[in-house]
């Protein structure tokens, strides 16, 4: 069952990525950084890492934008916790639709806010034995700063996010690059 959900999410992500490519100007981005588990997830998971990539496109002229994002991250488990074996880990795989807003400024530093909804897969991979996956409704929100003026086609950025689902929640800080394509 979880393989079908994962394949369906991958198909949804590919279709969603193809749709904005027919629009005018877009940003294609990649990012990465450390994750800090919160809630029940922090009871057994250590600090981990997270990487994501996506496509956004403008919605009108007001600074509003929409897009899709795929993500992958990993957190090793704390071996001092009861019933945790050395080498146990959790992989987090996400596919989300995002909506954001670039806050207008007169400088080359552009603040932005965003949120997203979609699918977050929590895959437990024990050191021995077979993996177990759980797919849940996922959500995310964050804020950041993009650097570079309108004349630049490459924009470095930093952001912070909160992302979660029923069994996995984390906070992360990321750095990334956005590449302008299209008009």
> pLDDT-based confidence at 183, cuts 50/70/90?
low
Of residues 70, 61, 63, 64, the one with CA closest to residue 29: 70
The whole-number pLDDT of residue 97 equals 98
Residue 88 near residue 76 (C-beta atoms within 8 A) = yes
> pLDDT-based confidence at 17, cuts 50/70/90?
very low
Sign of CA dihedral 125, 14, 174, 64: negative
Dump pLDDT digits (tens) for 25-38.
Answer: 699 999 999 999 99
Residues forming beta bridges with residue 97, ordered by sequence position: 68, 117
Dump pLDDT digits (tens) for 71-123.
Answer: 999 999 887 776 777 888 999 999 999 999 999 999 999 999 999 999 999 99
Residue 90 near residue 77 (C-beta atoms within 8 A) = yes
The whole-number pLDDT of residue 20 equals 45
Question: Strands 48-58, 154-164: parallel, antiparallel or unpaired by DSSP?
Answer: unpaired
The whole-number pLDDT of residue 109 equals 94
Dump pLDDT digits (tens) for 55-77.
Answer: 999 998 889 999 999 999 999 98
User: In angstroms, rounded to a whole number, what is the distance separating the alpha carbons of residues 92 and 80?
Assistant: 22
The whole-number pLDDT of residue 151 equals 75
User: Counting beta carbons within 10 angstroms of the beta carbon of residue 7, is it exposed (0 to 12), middle (13 to 18) or buried (19 or more)?
Assistant: exposed
> pLDDT-based confidence at 19, cuts 50/70/90?
very low
User: In angstroms, rounded to a whole number, what is the distance separating the alpha carbons of residues 8 and 73?
Assistant: 19
CA atoms within 13 A on the CB side of 48: 25
pTM of the model: 0.81
- For residue 3, pLDDT beyond 60: no
Question: What tokens were used for 58?
Answer: 């403008």
In Å, the largest CA–CA distance within the chain is 56
């Amino acid at each position: 069952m979880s393989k079908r959900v994962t394949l369906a999410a991958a198909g949804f992500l590919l279709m969603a990525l193809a749709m904005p490519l027919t629009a005018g100007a877009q940003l294609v981005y990649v990012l990465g950084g450390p994750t800090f588990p919160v809630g029940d997830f922090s009871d057994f998971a250590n600090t981990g890492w997270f990487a994501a990539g996506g496509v956004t496109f403008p919605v009108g002229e007001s600074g509003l934008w929409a897009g899709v994002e795929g993500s992958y991250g990993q957190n090793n488990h704390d071996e001092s916790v009861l019933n945790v074996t050395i080498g146990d880990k959790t992989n987090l795989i996400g596919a989300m639709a995002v909506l954001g807003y670039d806050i207008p400024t007169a400088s080359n530093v552009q603040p932005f806010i965003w949120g997203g909804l979609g699918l977050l897969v929590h895959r437990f991979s024990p050191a021995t034995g077979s993996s177990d996956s759980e797919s849940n409704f996922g959500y995310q929100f964050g804020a950041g700063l993009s650097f570079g003026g309108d004349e630049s086609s490459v924009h470095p950025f930093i952001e912070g996010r909160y992302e979660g689902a029923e069994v996995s929640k984390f906070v992360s800080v990321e750095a990334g690059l956005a590449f302008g394509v299209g008009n």
